[in-house]
Amino acid sequence: MRNYLFELKEGLLISLRAIRANKIRSVLTTLGIIIGVASVVLMSTAIKGIDQAFQTGVASLGSDNLYIDKWAWFNNDIPWWELRNRKNLQMEHYKKYKDMAKLPLAVAPTSWTQQTIKFQDKSVEFVFVQGTTDEYIRTTNLTFDDGRFFNELESNGGRNVAVIGSEIAKKLFPNGGGFNEYIKIKGNKFKIIGVLSEQGSWVMGNFNPDNQVFIPIENVFKSFSNESFSSITINVRAPNSQMVADVKEEAIGIMRRVRGLKYDQPDDFSINQQEGLLTNINQTIGVIEAAGLVITGLALIVGAIGIMNIMFVSVKERTKEIGIRKAIGAKKRTILVQFITESAIICLIGGMIGLGIAVIGSMIIAQFDFPSTVEIDAVILAVGISLITGVLSGFAPAYTAAKMDPVDALRYE
């Protein structure tokens, strides 16, 4: 063992000497590995960033929530036309459910409409305007920069009040403020009684509360969409995550009664959960991940082939040196270790440079609001990949060197 460590150490020194002696070639050789490692690290960092963004985004929905809806969010069993043919979910269903349900912490109907929001000469188009009741706030974890959510009185009275998300606030009031100002939604004036602090993440798009405006649901039906043609979603929050299953069970029972279903009729509503969203997202990310790693893996393979090529050339070129070393007592294993170490070190240096480039790259990407930081596991990944690549691509050339006949090698010019 001691002997082996000694050989490894000497192999390391000899390799460093050889690399220093062939600087330009070594740099060119590492280029492939630099690109390979940089892309693998960047890719894995990016994927992780996307994943995190989704997770936080989804978490902002709350894990204790159920969404009773005409539509199934993630569904592979029921044909879509069947879903379409279901009766709309309406306010009367919500009211009956709310009266009968004992378990939920809070229940709120939501109905959305897409509108342009105006403040003086500024406007934001295609904003998700959610109509809901005062209880909605208790089904979420929303926090405020300014003001509050609308209360029962405002909600039931259908007052022209609005709560706006942080992104909307930024766009309409770039210099801050907004609280107590009046915005126009399709010509109707609404008083801003609350400005949300930043909530979710960009990946959620319009479902991110940051991009939404909340108004009393009565106003939606009064001004924007006909109640009888739109289907609402009932947001239900369970008191805690252990109770989610019970709340769901109760909801199914009540909803079947509310909808007047006979025992042999299937449910004409769906109870959706954040969990379904997560599974869906994880699948998508899995696909992105696999595709990304295959592509960057190809870059690495090209790099590895480059290294192998150069190592073969290097072995050929140094045939005489190998002969000399063998003549004065280098064993097969010694030569093998020497060349594998050399290739591993070249790759490792390339990997380090690639990692450096990836770190800089991710800093640049982070400038564009894309979550991206190189963490310790990316460093380990880079080191591991480059070492393995080096050893694997160095093996064949090193073996060629090790099994050379000393007499022939010495005679080689």
Residues that bind another protein (CB under 8 A): 3, 6, 10, 17-18, 21, 320-321, 323-334, 405-407, 410
Angle subtended at Cα 81 by Cα 75 and Cα 86, rounded to the nearest 5 degrees: 85
Residue 132 backbone dihedrals phi, psi, to 5 degrees: -160, -170
Dist. CA 274–CA 207, nearest whole Å? 13
Beta carbon nearer to another protein, 328 or 376: 328
Dist. CA 103–CA 149, nearest whole Å? 24
* Closest approach of another protein to the CB of residue 27, in Å: 17
In sequence order, the 6+-apart residues with CB closer than 8 A to the CB of 324 are 410
Whether residue 184 contacts residue 190, with contact meaning beta carbons closer than 8 Å, is answered with yes
Across-strand partners of 272? Answer: 67
* Closest approach of another protein to the CB of residue 289, in Å: 45
Dist. CA 15–CA 338, nearest whole Å? 6
* Closest approach of another protein to the CB of residue 4, in Å: 10
Q: Which two tokens stand for residue 107?
A: 């229940």
* Closest approach of another protein to the CB of residue 357, in Å: 30
Beta carbon nearer to another protein, 297 or 406: 406
Beta carbon nearer to another protein, 187 or 329: 329
Residue 140 backbone dihedrals phi, psi, to 5 degrees: -125, 180
Whether residue 55 contacts residue 267, with contact meaning beta carbons closer than 8 Å, is answered with no
Whether residue 76 contacts residue 146, with contact meaning beta carbons closer than 8 Å, is answered with no
Across-strand partners of 17? Answer: none
Beta carbon nearer to another protein, 21 or 376: 21
* Closest approach of another protein to the CB of residue 305, in Å: 27
* Closest approach of another protein to the CB of residue 26, in Å: 13
* Closest approach of another protein to the CB of residue 354, in Å: 28
Beta carbon nearer to another protein, 48 or 326: 326
Dist. CA 40–CA 388, nearest whole Å? 14
Beta carbon nearer to another protein, 24 or 328: 328
- Exposed/middle/buried for 364, CB within 10 Å: 0-12, 13-18, 19+? exposed
Beta carbon nearer to another protein, 213 or 404: 404
